[in-house]
Chains A and B, each alone.
Chain A
Amino acid sequence: MSTKKNVLYGTATVAALALALTACGGSGGTSASGGTWDKDAVVNIGSLYEPQNLDNTAGGGQGVTEALNGNVYEGLFRLTDDGEVEKLLAQDYETSADGLTYTFTLRDGVKFHSGKELTSEDVKYSLEKVLADDSQSARKSNLEVVKDIATPDKRTVKITLSKKSISFVYNLSYVWIINSQAKDLKTTEDGTGPYALNKWTRGSALSLNRFAGYWGDAAANKQVVFHYYKDASALNNALLTNAVDVVTSEQSPDALEQFKSNGTYKVNDGDSTTKLLLAFNDKAKPFTDVKVRQAVSAAIDDKKLLESVWGGYGKQIGSMVPPTDPWYEDLTDVNAHDVTKAKKLLSEAGYAKGFSFTLDTPNYDPHPTAATFIKSQLAKVGITVKINTITPDEWYTKVYKNHDFSATLQEHVNDRDLVWYGNPDFYWGYDNPQVTQWVEQAEEASSTADQTELLKKVNRQTAEDAASDWLYLYPQIVVANNKLSGYPLNGLNSQFFAYDIKKKG
């Protein structure tokens, strides 16, 4: 790790010289707080999520999104850290009156890291790569509405959909625009982002260098290095010994105290999109009965659970929707903690003496803790919980594929995933034709306002039906050295934009 230290000392010296030289010219960087920062700093980022490979359509995993999305590869649109969709490589776009044809004009003067200019062919190629048969892109199913991609000229892309899809532009923010002539994308890259890949050492680190030919504002630092750790305490030690400057996502609340009590570090409490769910099998007794689901939801004190797992971090959540989704509403009052009400609902449902069920629990944190907590909470209303600990793999087969369960615990990480409640075949089996219709209508809505309104209805309906019990929203805790500013706080869908990070010399 001290390799980086040496590089640091080196760049710090260079930076000091540069500052001295430019002092008269006054061109030294200035941060929002007024302090100076080193424009040629090396920022060391610690993470638990190493990419499997560098191709996000070939199973690169969440690590490849974290390191390369927005930093190395750019889309036509960008999903900002606040959940907004903004134009990136698309300079402008028009939608036809029937909402089926999108015409995009590409930004001028955009170059790939290889030097080739961005053309509409590259956009077509990139989208086809996501839609290809062997694509493992998580967004493939959302983008399957694409019927035709035409490239009338170098800077125009015309995409026709088979049916209206209001989320189309949002979904495009997940599509990396790749040079159509690029090779070996699993180990190399050719994107248009502010950084180009320097080196990837498997099992260890991935470094990115500022790309001199970038079309937009240059990155605020010269190099970022993602250092990968398997173990959270090794990662924390790296932060404590200055081997890394920032940890993208702190997973161990116990470790936070040492950073909170140390003036060198800042512990940031952002909003994640990861929800911890007690998912009922809504097609299996007794959870077919809405009163039973409501009773269980009301019997569990989510606040106490959150407190015991995450201390003061994280948020209570009354539905599947995190605050960064456009159709967020605070629904924590629906089925709020109320033991008396829970008992009443149970006796109305014919379970005055309670019942017993098996809770399939993934074997990694925080599920076992949550399961034990739920067991003791439900015991107070006469419900007996049998905890069945299973591996993620078993979960996938038993629960997700075969729907062979009564209730389970699971974390759902993505934003905008409320729409799964519109699919009666999804593993939790929630089947409300009205909700399904709203979800479909929302996707075919003509304006985001209509879409938002419909999904708010879905949100409230699923909450009232206690389709699942949404236990809490995970915190997104970024811990950073005070020398750093400009890092993303919310890290939506694991992206981590590094180009605004400023480091004091």
Chain B
Amino acid sequence: MARYLVRRLAFLAVSLALASVVLFVLLRMLPGDPANALTSVGAGPEQIAAARRAIGSDRPLPEQFTHWIGQLASGDLGTSFVSSLPVGPEVAARLDVTVPLTLAAFVLAVLVAVPAGFTAAYKRHTWYGALLSGVSQLGIAIPVFWLGMILIAVFALNAGWLPSGGFPQDGWAEPAEAIRSLVLPVVTIALVMSASLIRYVRSATLDVLGSDYLRTARALGSSFGGAMRRHGLRNASVPVISVLGIELASTLLGAVVVESVYALPGLGSMLATGIAQHDYPVIQGVLFVSTLAVLVIGFVADLAQRIIDPRLRGRLSGGSR
């Protein structure tokens, strides 16, 4: 196990390093000049040159890269070109919104999807089993922003129960208000996420229901519930966990849309602003932190699968996954 952990951590570090190179190079390949965002209409060539000097975008790329990596190594995410404010503290402040939003949505989605997916599989011949499948199918087709707009129209504009958007200026200093402003965004993400999760849970459960070992266990006198608990759930959870990891990661990255619909000051909206302004340090900072989070989520998901399913241990330590 220790050898596996070391191997995985090394893999994580290498992935992160590779990702940072790709990130850096891809950003520089985008058309446009960050100095444009810094100079107003009427700026002369010398003002533009001064802007480039000020942000260091006139220096050779390798030098810019080593500078960035050097900063990263000392835990500094750099300084925004546009605002000339440090990126790190802002990322941290934005995580206060994005992390609770993503985790709450994830937990809610799992709480809905696991029983619903199981029911959809086990009761697939009943009307409500079919309904669950149908609804989840429909849920996948719904765009997040559209669902968000519907929820706002119903619960904020008409009923007036919840705010239509925004986040308290004092953040979590007023927990009740902060939570109130996250309810609709969390529900929006959770609904969309659970729709696809239900399908995965359903198919994983169907696999198990049709398996030989379950039939064998039943033949040996186990009750259905007992057989499911002892053998079924464990087997069904292995593929589901890897899907959960992917879902969580994609929600983190996909928060842009929800944060924009609900005017939340999260990481996603920070990224969107950064991209619009060619603010490389901001884009790099946000994407680096997101990449790190995605890699860690993948690592935890793998670890969880390994713990649940002993058969995977041999394969994983080979480093093939």
Contacts and interface: CB of A to CB of B under 8 A. Distances in A.
A93 interface: no
A208 to B, nearest CB: 12
Q: How large is the interface on A (under 10, 10 to 19, 20 to 34, 35 or more residues)?
A: 35 or more
B93 A134 contact: no
Contact of B165 (A52, A229, A393, A394): A229
Given A2-B177, A186-B84, A393-B31, A231 B263 contact: yes
A1 B269 contact: no
Interface string B87-119: 000100110000000000000000000000000
Given A59-B82, A225-B169, A237 B164 contact: yes
Given A6-B177, A138-B42, A203 B270 contact: yes
Interface in A91-138: 133-134, 136, 138
Interface string B140-158: 0000000001001000110
A369 interface: no
Contact of A238 (B32, B51, B263): B263
Most buried by B among A2, A58, A225: A2
A199 B156 CA distance: 27
A237 B33 contact: no
A340 interface: no
Interface string A201-229: 11111010000000000000000010111
A237 B156 contact: yes
A133 to B, nearest CB: 7
A136 B38 contact: yes
B164 A3 contact: no
A141 interface: yes
A230 B169 CA distance: 16
Interface in A130-171: 133-134, 136, 138, 140-141
A228 B50 CA distance: 30
B181 A1 contact: yes
A138 B160 CA distance: 43
B164 A393 contact: no
Nearest to A240: B157
Interface in A216-254: 225, 227-231, 233-235, 237-238, 240-241, 243
B169 A234 contact: no
A201 B171 contact: yes
Contacts of B94: 203
A241 B33 contact: no
A187 interface: yes
A396 interface: yes
B265 interface: yes
Most buried by A among B37, B54, B94, B169: B169
A3 B169 contact: yes
Given A393-B278, A397-B36, A243 B164 contact: yes
Contact of B261 (A133, A136, A234, A241): A234
B32 A393 contact: yes
A53 interface: yes
B41 interface: yes
A30 interface: no
A53 B164 contact: no
B177 A59 contact: no
Please provide the 7 A-B residue pairs with the shortest distance between their CB atoms, ordered closest to farther.
A203-B265, A393-B32, A237-B164, A3-B168, A204-B265, A1-B166, A1-B163
Given A2-B181, A243-B164, 13 more contacts: A53-B85, A134-B54, A136-B40, A203-B93, A228-B263, A229-B263, A231-B261, A233-B149, A237-B164, A243-B163, A393-B32, A394-B31, A412-B41
Interface of A: 1-3, 6, 52-53, 58-59, 133-134, 136, 138, 140-141, 186-187, 199, 201-205, 207, 225, 227-231, 233-235, 237-238, 240-241, 243, 391, 393-394, 396-397, 400, 412
24 contacts: A1-B163, A1-B165, A3-B169, A3-B174, A3-B177, A52-B83, A53-B85, A136-B40, A202-B90, A203-B93, A203-B266, A203-B269, A227-B263, A230-B263, A231-B260, A238-B164, A238-B165, A241-B163, A391-B31, A393-B278, A396-B36, A397-B32, A397-B33, A400-B41
